[in-house]
């Protein structure tokens, strides 16, 4: 959703273009697919990772935090938008281990 120069990207999970879950038992593998999906959504809206101003990550297992954080840091490189991590009881279906939503702002 774009509102003015702000892009709100709803939570992305590790589903490929055909709707298949990628890496069902691997949080880092799911995170890689999630960030691949986020890159595509951002590019479609005319944005890049460096336009992201807020990241929220939802995990079902706190033990996955380090691995998922490494994927996030790799995706953003030197850009470090504020990040909130939440541990939740579940995410849509039992095999989904991570979900990420972002807010991006384009230059006016």
Tens of pLDDT, residues 92-103: 899 999 999 999
pLDDT digits (tens, 9 = 90+) for 16-68: 999 999 999 899 999 999 999 999 999 999 999 999 999 999 999 999 999 99
- Provide the mean pLDDT of the chain: 96
Q: How far, in Å, CA of 44 to CA of 80, rounded?
A: 22
Range of the domain at 54: 2-105
Element spanning 64, H or E: none
Q: Tally the domains of the chain.
A: 1
At 3 the pLDDT is: 93
Domain CATH number, residue 67: 3.30.1330.40
pLDDT at residue 77, rounded to an integer: 97
pLDDT tens track for 3-14:
999 999 999 999
Q: How confident is the model at residue 108 (pLDDT cuts 50, 70, 90)?
A: confident
Does the CA dihedral 80-52-15-98 come out positive or negative? positive
State the pairing for strand pair 6-12/83-87: unpaired
The pLDDT value given to residue 107? 86
- Helix intervals (H) in 21-99: 27-44, 65-76
């Amino acid at each position: 959703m774009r509102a003015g120069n702000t892009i709100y990207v709803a939570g992305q999970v590790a589903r490929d273009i055909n709707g298949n879950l990628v890496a069902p038992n691997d949080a880092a593998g799911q995170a890689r697919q999630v960030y691949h999906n986020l890159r595509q959504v951002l590019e479609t809206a005319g944005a890049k990772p460096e336009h992201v101003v807020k990241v929220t990550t939802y995990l079902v297992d706190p033990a996955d935090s380090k691995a998922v954080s490494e994927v996030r840091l790799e995706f953003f490189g030197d850009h470090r938008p504020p990040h909130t991590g939440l541990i939740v009881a579940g995410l849509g279906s039992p095999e989904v281990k991570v979900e990420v939503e972002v807010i991006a702002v384009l230059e006016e």
